[in-house]
Amino acid sequence: MVQRYSEHEKLIAEAVKALRHLNYVQSDSFDIDEQERRIVIADGDYTGRPPVKKEIQIERAQQSYDESLAELKKYEKDQGVDATPISEIEQKALYEDEKRGRKKGGRALALQKYIRRIERKIDDTMAAPESDFVQPEGASGRPKMSRAEKIKNFENLVDKARKELEVEYRIMDPKEVLWHQVHDLKSDRRQLRLALRNPDNNQSARIWKRLKTEEAIKEELLSVTEKIAAKEHEMRTSELKTHRKAVDNLSELSLEEVSDYRKTLENLIKEQKKIKELEAQAKELGIDVSVLKAK
């Protein structure tokens, strides 16, 4: 049976997580990541939402850490539990940073978002009325591009961005690549769920236009969810192999390493159960899971 964390352990973990984020937004790495997200991409200026000032992000992170710490202290006082030293939380935060590091890929995430944005523009261009591409009589300035020219231009931008993304993946380790691929698949899953939940939403229209029916959307959602589970399983398996390579005897691990090893095993068990549940649902719907596994 998977061991569950106590309420005390959860509150400590939340405080550690909040402190890690506070340390991050105060670091030079944060500045570099923010800069990477907003540099020119594929001959186009990646804008997205205006960045929140660093001072405000630090203030928010400090408030989140203070609140997590206050909640932990209140619980320990109410339950009569020995207070967790601040130095222990700081050490755990430092250990997590050194062990996991920061996901390299501010630019990779920006490229993924950029590709999605341009793909939406392609869909909008295909659905636009013909009048949008007709130059008004007597109008001055640059002639309007035809529908085909505009779509071709957008497709070229997507192609360039995908090539840049492949370059980013090549400088990452395999686990980081998997993390980014899962991140991208989860964006697909969110859009598919939105299409089922709210078909009238503007973002849902392109999915309904492509897949046509609710059944087809459900099948696509199941397929994407299977891919996420498979890649997450691959990530957990990789972590487990790393632990096994490090030591042959569990007794040689430190307490922190034992805890990390346990979490990895728990996550592997959860992923295996999730995959089996999804496969059972797929079979009930008449979906051949062996075909999905072969993709």
Q: Mean pLDDT per 10-residue run, the chain (295 residues)?
A: 72 92 86 66 54 89 95 94 90 70 65 88 88 78 85 91 89 87 92 92 86 92 92 78 54 62 72 79 77 57
Q: Classify 13 as helix, strand or coil.
A: helix
pLDDT in the model for residue 18: 93
What are all long-range contacts of 234-239, with beta carbons under 8 Å and residues at least 24 apart?
234/178, 235/175, 235/178, 235/179, 235/182, 236/264, 236/267, 236/268, 236/271, 237/268, 238/174, 238/175, 238/178, 239/175, 239/264
Within its chain, how far is the Cα of 283 from the centroid? 28
CA distances from 152 to 142, 149, 279 (A): 18, 5, 39
pLDDT in the model for residue 78: 93
Q: Are strands 40-41 and 44-45 parallel, antiparallel or unpaired?
A: antiparallel
Rounded to an integer, what distance in angstroms lies between the CA atom of residue 117 and that of residue 46?
Answer: 10
pLDDT in the model for residue 1: 39
Give the pTM: 0.56
Residue that has been written with the tokens 């231009």 in this structure: 153
Contact yes or no for 208/217 (Cβ under 8 A): yes
For the segment 217-271, what is each residue's pLDDT rounded down to a tens digit? 999 999 999 999 888 888 877 766 655 554 555 555 566 666 666 777 777 777 7
pLDDT in the model for residue 184: 92
